[in-house]
Amino acid sequence: MALSNDTLTELSYAEAAVLALQREMETDPKVVVLGEDVGRGGIFGQYKGLQQRFGDQRVIDTPISEAAIMGAGVGMALAGLRPVVEMRVVDFALCGMDELVNQAAKNRFMFGGQGRVPLVARMPGGIWDASAAQHSQSLEAWFAHMPGLVVVSPSTPQDNYSLLRSALQCGDPVVYIEHKGLWGARGPVDESLDVPLGQAARLRDGDALTMVSWGKQVQACADACDALAQQGIAVDLIDLRTLWPWDRETVLASCARTRRLLVVHEAVQAAGFGAEIAATAAEATGCRIARLGAPRIPVGYAAVLEAQSRVSAEAIAAAADRLLG
Protein backbone atom coordinates (compact mmCIF):
# COMPACT_ATOMS: atom_id res chain seq x y z
CA MET A 1 0.00 0.00 0.00
CA ALA A 2 1.46 3.36 -1.02
CA LEU A 3 1.63 6.03 1.68
CA SER A 4 0.45 9.56 0.97
CA ASN A 5 2.82 12.35 2.05
CA ASP A 6 -0.25 14.20 3.35
CA THR A 7 -0.84 11.53 5.99
CA LEU A 8 2.75 10.93 7.13
CA THR A 9 4.26 12.09 10.40
CA GLU A 10 7.93 11.68 11.29
CA LEU A 11 8.08 9.85 14.64
CA SER A 12 10.52 7.85 16.68
CA TYR A 13 9.84 4.20 17.44
CA ALA A 14 8.89 5.18 21.01
CA GLU A 15 6.69 8.11 19.90
CA ALA A 16 4.86 5.82 17.48
CA ALA A 17 4.03 3.47 20.36
CA VAL A 18 2.76 6.35 22.49
CA LEU A 19 0.54 7.53 19.63
CA ALA A 20 -0.84 4.02 19.05
CA LEU A 21 -1.73 3.64 22.72
CA GLN A 22 -3.25 7.11 22.83
CA ARG A 23 -5.50 6.33 19.86
CA GLU A 24 -6.62 2.99 21.33
CA MET A 25 -7.25 4.51 24.76
CA GLU A 26 -9.31 7.29 23.17
CA THR A 27 -11.33 4.74 21.20
CA ASP A 28 -11.76 2.06 23.86
CA PRO A 29 -12.16 2.97 27.56
CA LYS A 30 -11.37 -0.64 28.46
CA VAL A 31 -7.70 -0.19 27.47
CA VAL A 32 -5.54 0.34 30.57
CA VAL A 33 -1.80 0.32 31.22
CA LEU A 34 -0.01 -1.09 34.26
CA GLY A 35 3.63 -1.47 35.17
CA GLU A 36 6.64 0.06 36.85
CA ASP A 37 7.39 3.70 35.97
CA VAL A 38 4.62 4.00 33.39
CA GLY A 39 3.36 7.15 35.07
CA ARG A 40 6.59 8.98 34.33
CA GLY A 41 6.60 7.72 30.76
CA GLY A 42 8.41 4.38 31.03
CA ILE A 43 12.17 3.87 30.94
CA PHE A 44 12.23 4.32 27.16
CA GLY A 45 9.58 7.07 26.92
CA GLN A 46 7.08 4.62 25.45
CA TYR A 47 4.27 5.93 27.72
CA LYS A 48 5.23 9.60 27.76
CA GLY A 49 2.32 11.87 28.62
CA LEU A 50 -0.31 9.14 28.82
CA GLN A 51 -0.92 9.31 32.57
CA GLN A 52 -1.31 13.07 32.34
CA ARG A 53 -3.86 12.60 29.58
CA PHE A 54 -5.84 9.62 30.91
CA GLY A 55 -5.21 9.69 34.66
CA ASP A 56 -3.68 7.26 37.13
CA GLN A 57 -6.68 4.91 37.07
CA ARG A 58 -5.92 3.98 33.46
CA VAL A 59 -2.13 4.36 33.48
CA ILE A 60 -1.30 2.59 36.72
CA ASP A 61 2.06 2.59 38.49
CA THR A 62 2.71 -0.71 40.22
CA PRO A 63 5.07 -2.16 42.84
CA ILE A 64 8.25 -3.86 41.66
CA SER A 65 6.86 -7.36 41.17
CA GLU A 66 6.55 -8.75 37.66
CA ALA A 67 4.51 -11.69 38.92
CA ALA A 68 2.01 -9.32 40.54
CA ILE A 69 1.90 -7.06 37.47
CA MET A 70 1.30 -9.93 35.05
CA GLY A 71 -1.16 -11.64 37.38
CA ALA A 72 -3.14 -8.41 37.81
CA GLY A 73 -3.14 -7.96 34.04
CA VAL A 74 -4.53 -11.45 33.49
CA GLY A 75 -7.26 -10.80 36.03
CA MET A 76 -8.13 -7.46 34.43
CA ALA A 77 -8.36 -9.12 31.01
CA LEU A 78 -10.65 -11.89 32.29
CA ALA A 79 -12.82 -9.20 33.89
CA GLY A 80 -13.32 -7.47 30.54
CA LEU A 81 -10.51 -4.89 30.33
CA ARG A 82 -7.78 -4.74 27.70
CA PRO A 83 -4.59 -4.29 29.72
CA VAL A 84 -1.18 -3.34 28.43
CA VAL A 85 1.26 -5.01 30.82
CA GLU A 86 4.69 -3.40 30.92
CA MET A 87 7.58 -5.71 31.82
CA ARG A 88 10.33 -3.07 31.34
CA VAL A 89 12.58 -5.62 29.53
CA VAL A 90 11.99 -9.19 28.42
CA ASP A 91 14.67 -10.38 30.85
CA PHE A 92 12.49 -9.25 33.80
CA ALA A 93 9.40 -10.92 32.34
CA LEU A 94 10.80 -14.27 33.46
CA CYS A 95 9.52 -13.40 36.94
CA GLY A 96 5.99 -13.34 35.50
CA MET A 97 6.19 -16.46 33.34
CA ASP A 98 3.78 -18.60 35.35
CA GLU A 99 0.99 -16.05 35.07
CA LEU A 100 1.59 -15.61 31.34
CA VAL A 101 2.27 -19.20 30.31
CA ASN A 102 0.02 -21.16 32.68
CA GLN A 103 -2.85 -18.70 32.99
CA ALA A 104 -3.07 -16.21 30.10
CA ALA A 105 -1.99 -18.58 27.34
CA LYS A 106 -4.20 -21.51 28.39
CA ASN A 107 -7.40 -19.94 29.68
CA ARG A 108 -9.31 -19.81 26.40
CA PHE A 109 -8.54 -23.48 25.68
CA MET A 110 -9.06 -24.88 29.18
CA PHE A 111 -12.43 -23.20 29.65
CA GLY A 112 -13.83 -23.78 26.18
CA GLY A 113 -13.66 -20.16 25.11
CA GLN A 114 -15.72 -18.88 28.05
CA GLY A 115 -12.81 -16.69 29.08
CA ARG A 116 -10.59 -14.54 26.88
CA VAL A 117 -7.37 -12.80 27.86
CA PRO A 118 -7.00 -9.76 25.55
CA LEU A 119 -3.70 -8.74 27.12
CA VAL A 120 -0.66 -7.13 25.49
CA ALA A 121 2.58 -7.86 27.35
CA ARG A 122 5.24 -5.41 26.25
CA MET A 123 8.69 -6.94 26.71
CA PRO A 124 11.52 -4.90 25.15
CA GLY A 125 14.06 -7.43 23.93
CA GLY A 126 17.47 -7.74 22.31
CA ILE A 127 20.90 -6.37 23.04
CA TRP A 128 20.90 -3.19 25.12
CA ASP A 129 24.24 -1.42 24.74
CA ALA A 130 26.62 -2.08 27.65
CA SER A 131 23.87 -3.78 29.67
CA ALA A 132 25.33 -7.29 29.85
CA ALA A 133 23.82 -10.74 30.09
CA GLN A 134 20.72 -10.09 32.24
CA HIS A 135 19.45 -7.13 30.18
CA SER A 136 20.26 -8.14 26.58
CA GLN A 137 18.43 -11.35 25.80
CA SER A 138 16.34 -12.27 22.77
CA LEU A 139 13.77 -14.78 24.03
CA GLU A 140 11.12 -14.70 21.32
CA ALA A 141 11.49 -18.43 20.59
CA TRP A 142 10.33 -19.23 24.15
CA PHE A 143 7.03 -17.49 23.58
CA ALA A 144 6.53 -18.69 19.99
CA HIS A 145 6.83 -22.23 21.38
CA MET A 146 3.90 -21.68 23.76
CA PRO A 147 0.40 -22.49 22.42
CA GLY A 148 -2.07 -19.70 23.07
CA LEU A 149 0.34 -16.78 22.71
CA VAL A 150 0.67 -14.39 19.78
CA VAL A 151 4.22 -13.04 19.31
CA VAL A 152 5.02 -9.75 17.58
CA SER A 153 8.35 -8.03 16.82
CA PRO A 154 8.08 -4.65 15.02
CA SER A 155 11.16 -3.22 13.31
CA THR A 156 10.05 0.30 12.29
CA PRO A 157 8.09 3.21 13.80
CA GLN A 158 5.27 2.52 11.32
CA ASP A 159 5.05 -1.11 12.37
CA ASN A 160 5.28 -0.23 16.04
CA TYR A 161 2.28 2.05 15.59
CA SER A 162 0.19 -0.25 13.41
CA LEU A 163 1.07 -3.57 15.05
CA LEU A 164 0.54 -2.27 18.59
CA ARG A 165 -2.96 -1.17 17.60
CA SER A 166 -3.59 -4.58 16.00
CA ALA A 167 -2.26 -6.33 19.11
CA LEU A 168 -4.63 -4.35 21.33
CA GLN A 169 -7.55 -5.39 19.14
CA CYS A 170 -6.51 -9.05 18.96
CA GLY A 171 -8.55 -10.61 21.76
CA ASP A 172 -5.84 -13.07 22.77
CA PRO A 173 -2.64 -12.60 24.82
CA VAL A 174 0.08 -10.96 22.75
CA VAL A 175 3.77 -10.95 23.64
CA TYR A 176 4.92 -7.71 22.09
CA ILE A 177 8.71 -7.52 21.76
CA GLU A 178 10.06 -4.08 20.88
CA HIS A 179 13.82 -3.93 20.46
CA LYS A 180 15.69 -2.03 23.16
CA GLY A 181 17.98 -0.52 20.56
CA LEU A 182 15.22 0.92 18.34
CA TRP A 183 13.46 3.43 20.61
CA GLY A 184 15.17 6.44 19.04
CA ALA A 185 14.92 5.21 15.44
CA ARG A 186 12.84 7.61 13.35
CA GLY A 187 10.65 7.09 10.32
CA PRO A 188 7.38 8.04 8.65
CA VAL A 189 4.14 6.93 10.29
CA ASP A 190 0.77 6.88 8.58
CA GLU A 191 -2.02 6.67 11.16
CA SER A 192 -4.41 5.31 8.56
CA LEU A 193 -2.26 2.28 7.74
CA ASP A 194 -3.50 -1.01 9.21
CA VAL A 195 -1.01 -3.86 9.54
CA PRO A 196 -2.73 -7.14 10.48
CA LEU A 197 -1.00 -9.63 12.74
CA GLY A 198 0.57 -12.50 10.84
CA GLN A 199 1.47 -10.52 7.71
CA ALA A 200 5.14 -10.19 6.73
CA ALA A 201 6.62 -7.28 4.77
CA ARG A 202 8.77 -7.66 1.66
CA LEU A 203 11.48 -4.98 1.88
CA ARG A 204 13.64 -5.97 -1.10
CA ASP A 205 12.81 -7.89 -4.28
CA GLY A 206 15.25 -10.36 -5.76
CA ASP A 207 15.66 -13.86 -7.14
CA ALA A 208 19.12 -14.89 -5.87
CA LEU A 209 17.96 -15.92 -2.41
CA THR A 210 15.33 -15.30 0.26
CA MET A 211 16.42 -13.61 3.49
CA VAL A 212 14.09 -13.61 6.51
CA SER A 213 14.51 -11.66 9.74
CA TRP A 214 12.65 -9.54 12.30
CA GLY A 215 13.16 -6.76 14.84
CA LYS A 216 16.31 -4.66 14.80
CA GLN A 217 18.17 -7.37 12.88
CA VAL A 218 16.18 -6.39 9.79
CA GLN A 219 18.30 -3.24 9.42
CA ALA A 220 21.54 -5.24 9.43
CA CYS A 221 19.98 -7.50 6.79
CA ALA A 222 19.02 -4.48 4.68
CA ASP A 223 22.60 -3.21 4.90
CA ALA A 224 23.85 -6.64 3.84
CA CYS A 225 21.41 -6.64 0.91
CA ASP A 226 22.79 -3.27 -0.20
CA ALA A 227 26.34 -4.68 -0.13
CA LEU A 228 25.25 -7.79 -2.04
CA ALA A 229 23.49 -5.62 -4.63
CA GLN A 230 26.85 -4.05 -5.44
CA GLN A 231 27.96 -7.56 -6.44
CA GLY A 232 24.89 -7.95 -8.64
CA ILE A 233 23.10 -10.17 -6.14
CA ALA A 234 19.40 -9.33 -5.69
CA VAL A 235 17.87 -10.57 -2.43
CA ASP A 236 14.22 -11.09 -1.49
CA LEU A 237 14.27 -9.58 2.01
CA ILE A 238 11.30 -10.39 4.24
CA ASP A 239 10.58 -8.80 7.62
CA LEU A 240 8.46 -11.36 9.45
CA ARG A 241 6.97 -8.78 11.89
CA THR A 242 4.78 -11.41 13.57
CA LEU A 243 6.54 -14.56 14.76
CA TRP A 244 3.35 -16.35 15.71
CA PRO A 245 1.36 -16.75 13.60
CA TRP A 246 4.10 -16.25 11.03
CA ASP A 247 3.46 -15.57 7.36
CA ARG A 248 4.29 -18.97 5.89
CA GLU A 249 2.62 -18.18 2.57
CA THR A 250 4.89 -15.22 1.81
CA VAL A 251 8.07 -16.93 2.99
CA LEU A 252 7.43 -20.26 1.26
CA ALA A 253 6.41 -18.62 -2.02
CA SER A 254 9.68 -16.72 -2.02
CA CYS A 255 11.71 -19.84 -1.14
CA ALA A 256 10.03 -21.81 -3.91
CA ARG A 257 11.06 -19.11 -6.36
CA THR A 258 14.64 -18.37 -5.22
CA ARG A 259 15.44 -21.95 -4.06
CA ARG A 260 17.67 -20.57 -1.28
CA LEU A 261 16.81 -19.34 2.23
CA LEU A 262 18.93 -17.51 4.79
CA VAL A 263 17.24 -16.91 8.16
CA VAL A 264 18.92 -14.29 10.35
CA HIS A 265 18.19 -13.36 13.95
CA GLU A 266 19.90 -11.68 16.89
CA ALA A 267 18.84 -14.46 19.25
CA VAL A 268 21.16 -17.37 19.97
CA GLN A 269 21.16 -19.59 16.89
CA ALA A 270 20.75 -22.86 18.81
CA ALA A 271 17.01 -23.62 19.02
CA GLY A 272 16.16 -20.12 17.81
CA PHE A 273 12.91 -19.42 15.97
CA GLY A 274 14.85 -19.44 12.72
CA ALA A 275 15.05 -23.21 13.01
CA GLU A 276 11.24 -23.42 12.74
CA ILE A 277 11.26 -21.32 9.57
CA ALA A 278 14.15 -23.32 8.12
CA ALA A 279 12.54 -26.69 8.83
CA THR A 280 9.19 -25.59 7.43
CA ALA A 281 10.81 -24.28 4.24
CA ALA A 282 12.87 -27.46 3.83
CA GLU A 283 9.80 -29.67 4.17
CA ALA A 284 7.64 -27.54 1.87
CA THR A 285 10.08 -26.51 -0.86
CA GLY A 286 13.31 -28.50 -0.54
CA CYS A 287 15.32 -25.30 -0.97
CA ARG A 288 18.91 -24.84 0.21
CA ILE A 289 18.95 -23.33 3.70
CA ALA A 290 21.33 -21.57 6.07
CA ARG A 291 20.77 -20.02 9.49
CA LEU A 292 22.67 -17.21 11.14
CA GLY A 293 22.27 -16.21 14.77
CA ALA A 294 24.32 -15.39 17.84
CA PRO A 295 26.68 -17.91 19.44
CA ARG A 296 25.37 -19.72 22.51
CA ILE A 297 27.05 -17.40 25.00
CA PRO A 298 25.75 -14.79 27.45
CA VAL A 299 25.99 -11.23 26.12
CA GLY A 300 29.13 -9.63 27.55
CA TYR A 301 29.33 -6.22 29.22
CA ALA A 302 32.62 -5.12 27.66
CA ALA A 303 32.18 -3.80 24.12
CA VAL A 304 34.59 -6.36 22.67
CA LEU A 305 32.60 -9.19 24.29
CA GLU A 306 29.21 -7.72 23.42
CA ALA A 307 30.30 -7.57 19.78
CA GLN A 308 30.68 -11.36 19.77
CA SER A 309 26.91 -11.66 20.27
CA ARG A 310 25.99 -9.27 17.47
CA VAL A 311 25.20 -10.50 13.97
CA SER A 312 26.71 -7.88 11.68
CA ALA A 313 25.81 -6.90 8.13
CA GLU A 314 29.22 -8.19 7.05
CA ALA A 315 28.54 -11.61 8.61
CA ILE A 316 25.13 -11.72 6.92
CA ALA A 317 26.58 -10.89 3.50
CA ALA A 318 29.29 -13.54 3.98
CA ALA A 319 26.64 -16.14 4.91
CA ALA A 320 24.67 -15.23 1.80
CA ASP A 321 27.78 -15.65 -0.35
CA ARG A 322 28.40 -19.09 1.14
CA LEU A 323 24.81 -20.12 0.50
CA LEU A 324 25.07 -19.01 -3.11
CA GLY A 325 28.21 -21.14 -3.31
pLDDT for res 6: 59
Instruction: Tell the burial category of 282 from Cβ atoms under 10 Å away from its Cβ (0-12, 13-18, 19+).
Output: middle
Please list, in sequence order, all residues whose beta carbon lies within 8 angstroms of the beta carbon of residue 218, skipping any fewer than 6 positions away. 155, 203, 237, 239
Cα 193 to Cα 158: distance, rounded to the nearest angstrom: 8
Count the neighbouring beta carbons within 10 Å of the beta carbon of residue 297.
11
Cα 75 to Cα 305: distance, rounded to the nearest angstrom: 42
**Last residue in a domain, options 165, 190, 215:** 190
Residue 195 lies in a domain: no
Asked if 124 and 156 touch (Cβ cutoff 8 Å), the reply is no
Count the neighbouring beta carbons within 10 Å of the beta carbon of residue 304.
7
Question: 306 and 261 in one domain?
Answer: yes
Question: 275 and 249 in one domain?
Answer: yes
Residue 214 lies in a domain: yes
Given the residues 135, 145, 179, 265, select the one marked as catalytic. Answer: 135
Residue 236 lies in a domain: yes
Question: 28 and 102 in one domain?
Answer: yes
Domain extent, residue 226, equals 201-324
Cα 40 to Cα 60: distance, rounded to the nearest angstrom: 10
Rg (CA), the chain: 19
The vertex-103 CA angle with 98 and 108, nearest 5°, equals 155
Question: 170 and 38 in one domain?
Answer: yes
Q: Give the pLDDT of the chain (325 residues) as one tens digit per residue.
A: 334 455 789 999 999 999 999 999 999 999 999 999 999 999 999 999 999 999 999 999 999 999 999 999 999 999 999 999 999 999 999 999 999 999 999 999 999 999 999 999 999 999 999 999 999 999 999 999 999 999 999 999 999 999 999 999 999 999 999 999 999 999 999 999 999 999 999 999 999 999 999 999 999 999 999 999 999 999 999 999 999 999 999 999 999 999 999 999 999 999 999 999 999 999 999 999 999 999 999 999 999 999 999 999 999 999 999 999 8
Residue 2 lies in a domain: no
pLDDT for res 2: 39
Question: 145 and 93 in one domain?
Answer: yes
Residue 18 identity (one-letter amino acid): V
Here the CATH number for the domain that contains residue 129 is: 3.40.50.970
Residue 149 lies in a domain: yes
The structural domain count of the chain equals 2
Q: Is 135 a catalytic residue?
A: yes
Torsion, Cα 126 95 142 293, to 10 degrees, reads 30
In sequence order, what are the beta bridge partners of 262? 211, 290
**Last residue in a domain, options 190, 220, 240:** 190
Residue 117 lies in a domain: yes
pLDDT for res 90: 96
Question: 158 and 209 in one domain?
Answer: no
If you ran DSSP here, which 8-state letter would residue 4 be given?
A: P
pLDDT for res 7: 74
pLDDT for res 4: 46
Residue 5 lies in a domain: no
pLDDT for res 3: 46
